[in-house]
Amino acid sequence: MSRKRNERLVVVSNRLPFSFRQDAAGGWRAEPGGGGLVTALLPVLRHRGGTWIGWTGAAGQDEGLAAALDAVGTGAGYALKAVPLTAGEVENFYLGFSNEIVWPLFHDLQSLCNFDPAYWRIYCEVNRRFAEVVRENCGPGDFIWVHDYHLMNVATELRGMGVDSRIGFFLHIPFPSLDLFLKLPWRMSLIEALLRFDLIGFQTARDRRNFVQCVRALVKGAEVEGRGQVLLVTALGRTLRVGSFPISIDYNAFMRQAAAAEVGERARELHRLLPNRKLILGIDRLDYTKGIPLRLKAFHNLLARRPGLRERVSFIQVVVPSREDIPQYRDLKTEIEQLVGKINGSFVNPGGWVPVWYVYRSLSRLDLLAYYRAADIALVTPLKDGMNLVAKEYCACSIEEDCALILSEFAGAAAQLGRSALLVNPYDIEGVADAIHRAYHMDRGERQARMRRLRRSIREYDVFWWVDSFLRAAITKDLRAFPLPENLTVDEAADYSLPF
Ligand code: GDG
């Protein structure tokens, strides 16, 4: 067997990087999921050879789907393997445990959790199913890289099946503080499950520190060694690595695409439609963690307290439909629409200025890039976010560097970008309104200097850096190979101090 074959990468995520839909004639159509993760992993998968394991997004599985998976995998340059899920499993594992328990709890929104005991059992069963597909498709030298909060039990299941390959895990969402984690009825099982991985990656030093505190509190005799980007944790008779690896984007691709003539034309068209004013932009999935209602209240507050800005700004809020099967998401949509109606009803100039442009749909890539390029101010104010790629994409697309980023302190991205963005507490309605006012009046020199620094950091620590550093942390013998990157806050104390 060749060396390449021996060191394959096996990526495991809830969803495959393609979604498969059945057409009216019963044939399967694949649509690429896109996204930075796929772009970043593609060269590694092609070079080392590899497999991507996940759910197709469709309930059940038939022979046609298996053939479609093979064909798409051949074209993509790596194998695709599906984990079939029934509608009931999707309900309890995905909508239930993952999105009604872990998602709100890990985003500090405990009151939104539905701790239904049935969810946990199905979560474990589905994780076992993922592990079975991994076991069938991996060899002894392979590195298995599991992604995100849906699959925290996969290493435990694999170890139970006798798989002793190295297994890494990256958590895309925040890890909660000890006080919150202790609320979880399955806290012990989950912490033990995570300790069965060989490397755990978090977005920020704060998430890693929360995890380490939970391990120390829940696991007797746990020891933690080292400092810097990667620590060693010894617990339950084994040692694993725990690091922080801020995820990023394919900076050069965004920059190049944003510079295309048709993107520039579409961006200018937006300014022609909304002339003589600054454009403020929010782009988010429909999700209560993204802080959209509070952001709208801040915009209302701005217009009420600063009448001079009326007709001088328009706020474009794009909301991408997501998880509409969950009642809280439907309620959130209603709340957003009521707030938009209230602001527009209070301040509209009939026949002229409309303060909020509300878009409820998914944008094409071209429109997304044009909105980024056209916006003078980006308003990225999640209540809590693992990282937030919209903030990074906005900076990458701002090729004129003449704009400002307003960023929540509680986005993972704040640890890296906080010194050059305008940081805000998303719960502070007047504070966010004041930050918009400040961004509006900021002089060109300051705007450009800040944006240049933001873009430099994102360019240097792009998604390829992220993949490379995670994989190196998994395999390197000498952890001193991980010095503190200069522009990245991985020092725990610094991550906790506010930059003002
Ligand atoms: C999770 C964590 C972490 C948005 N609207 C459209 C569109 N998008 C794309 C953006 C961006 C992505 O969706 C959103 O990424 P975020 O990072 O902002 O948020 P989550 O979806 O919550 O992601 C997050 C991330 O995982 C990665 O680890 O940063 O904290 O919650 O890429 O461009 N894309 C298109 N049309 C849209 O209308 N084409």
DSSP string, 436-472: HHHHHH--HHHHHHHHHHHHHHHHHT-HHHHHHHHHH
- pTM for this model (two decimals): 0.94
Q: Which residue is closest in CA terms to ligand 1's atom 27?
A: 172
For residues 459 and 439, what is the distance between their CA atoms, to the nearest angstrom? 23
Q: What is the pLDDT, as a whole number, of residue 2?
A: 40
Q: Quick one: DSSP state of residue 485?
A: P
Structure tokens at 445: 């020199």
Rounded distance from Cα 390 to ligand 1 centre (Å): 6
Q: In this structure, what token pair is assigned to residue 495?
A: 């991550």
By most ligand atoms within 8 Å of CB, the mutation choice from 14, 151, 244, 285 for ligand 1 is: 285
- Give the dihedral sign, CA 409/413/414/419: negative
Tell me the C-alpha distance between 282 and 293, whole Å. Answer: 12
**All structural domains of the chain with their residue ranges:** 9-244, 253-460
Instruction: Check: CB of residue 57 under 8 Å from CB of residue 94.
Output: no
Nearest CA to ligand 1 atom 15: 389
Report which protein residue has its CA nearest ligand 1's atom 36: 363
| Nearest-CA residue for atom 28 of ligand 1 | 172
| CA 95 – ligand 1 centroid, Å | 19
Give the per-residue pLDDT at 3: 42
- The answer, yes or no, to whether residue 69 has pLDDT greater than 60, is yes
Q: Which ligand 1 atom sits closest to the C-alpha of 412?
A: 30
- Compute the distance from residue 408 Cα to the ligand 1 centre, in Å: 16
Q: How long a stretch of residues is the chain?
A: 500
Atom 10, ligand 1: which residue's CA is nearest?
390
CATH tag, 253-460 = 3.40.50.2000
- In testing the pocket of ligand 1, which one of 173, 287, 389 has its CB within 8 Å of the most ligand atoms? 389
Beta bridge partners of 29: 21
What values do phi and psi take at 356, rounded to 5? -115, 125
**pLDDT by residue (tens digit) across 370-393?**
999 999 999 999 999 999 999 999
| Structure confidence at residue 131 (pLDDT) | 98
pLDDT at 496: 41
Q: Average pLDDT in the 394-400 region?
A: 97
Token digits of residue 265: 């034309």
Q: Are 217 and 184 in contact (CB under 8 A)?
A: no
Domain 9-244 shares a fold with domain 253-460: yes
Classify the C-alpha dihedral 44-49-54-55 as positive or negative. Answer: positive
Residue 150 designated active-site:
no
User: For residues 452 and 489, is the Cβ–Cβ distance under 8 A?
Assistant: no
Mutate to test the pocket of ligand 1, among 15, 360, 387 (most ligand atoms within 8 A of CB): 387
Determine the residue of 388, 416, 461, 470 to mutate for testing ligand 1's pocket, defined as the one with the most ligand atoms within 8 A of the Cβ atom: 388
| pLDDT tops 50 at residue 493 | no
Amino acid sitting at position 474 = A
With a CB cutoff of 8 Å and minimum separation 6, the contacts of 455 are 251, 395, 396, 398, 401
Tens of pLDDT, residue by residue over 18-27, are: 888 888 888 8
Given a contact cutoff of 8 angstroms between Cβ atoms, the answer to whether 198 and 167 are in contact is: yes
Distance CA 16, CA 336 (A): 31
Task: Please give the mean pLDDT across all residues of the chain.
Answer: 91
Instruction: Dig out the tokens for 345 from the structure.
Output: 């009803």
pLDDT for residue 446: 98
Q: How far apart are CA 270 and CA 246, in angstroms?
A: 33
Residue by residue, DSSP assigns 234-252 as: EETTEEEEEEE------HH
d(C-alpha 440, C-alpha 429), whole Å: 17
Q: Closest residue (by CA) to atom 30 of ligand 1? A: 386
Task: Calculate how far, in angstroms, residue 411's C-alpha sits from the geometric centre of ligand 1.
Answer: 13
Scan for tokens 């503080």, then name that residue.
177
DSSP 111: G
Name the token pair of 493: 């104390």
Of the ranges 138-142, 191-195, 226-230, which one carries the lowest mean pLDDT score? 226-230
SS3 state of residue 336: helix
CATH label, 9-244, candidates 3.40.50.300, 3.30.43.10, 2.60.90.10, 3.40.50.2000 = 3.40.50.2000
- Report CA-CA distances (Å) from 14 to 83, 157, 249, 409, 418: 9, 16, 20, 28, 31
Which pLDDT belongs to residue 25? 82
Question: What pLDDT does 19 receive?
Answer: 83
Residue 281 scores a pLDDT above 70: yes
b/e map 270-279, b = 16+ CB within 10 Å: beeebeebbb
pLDDT score recorded for residue 494: 45
Q: Which residues line ligand 1 (CB under 6 A)?
A: 35, 172-173, 247, 283, 285, 318, 320, 362-363, 365, 368, 385-390, 393
**Average pLDDT in the 415-419 region?**
94
110, pLDDT greater than 90? yes
Out of 250, 385, 434, 495, which one is annotated catalytic? Answer: 385
Whether residue 462 lies in the annotated active site: no
Residue 495 pLDDT > 60: no
Residue 388 CA, ligand 1 centroid: distance in Å: 7
| Backbone dihedral angles phi then psi of residue 422, each to the nearest 5 degrees | -90, 110
Q: Are 105 and 119 in contact (CB under 8 A)?
A: no
Kindly report the protein residue whose alpha carbon is nearest to atom 4 of ligand 1.
284
For residues 408 and 435, the answer to whether their CB atoms sit within 8 Å is: no
**Ligand 1 centroid from CA 384, angstroms:** 14
* N-term to C-term CA, the chain: 57
> Residues 107, 147, 150, 172: which is the catalytic one?
172
Q: How far is CA 42 from the centre of its chain?
A: 18
Binning pLDDT at 50, 70 and 90, where does residue 492 land? very low
Q: In the structure, what pLDDT confidence band is assigned to residue 481 with cuts at 50, 70 and 90?
A: low
What is the C-alpha separation between 217 and 177, in angstroms, rounded? 11
Q: Strand pairing partners for 406?
A: 379, 422
Q: How many Å lie between the centroid of ligand 1 and the Cα of residue 482?
A: 28
Contact 387, 245 (CB under 8 A): no
Give the containing element (helix H, strand E) for 71: helix 63-76
Q: What is the reported pLDDT for 489?
A: 47
Q: Where are the beta strands (DSSP E) in 108-210?
A: 143-147, 166-170, 199-202
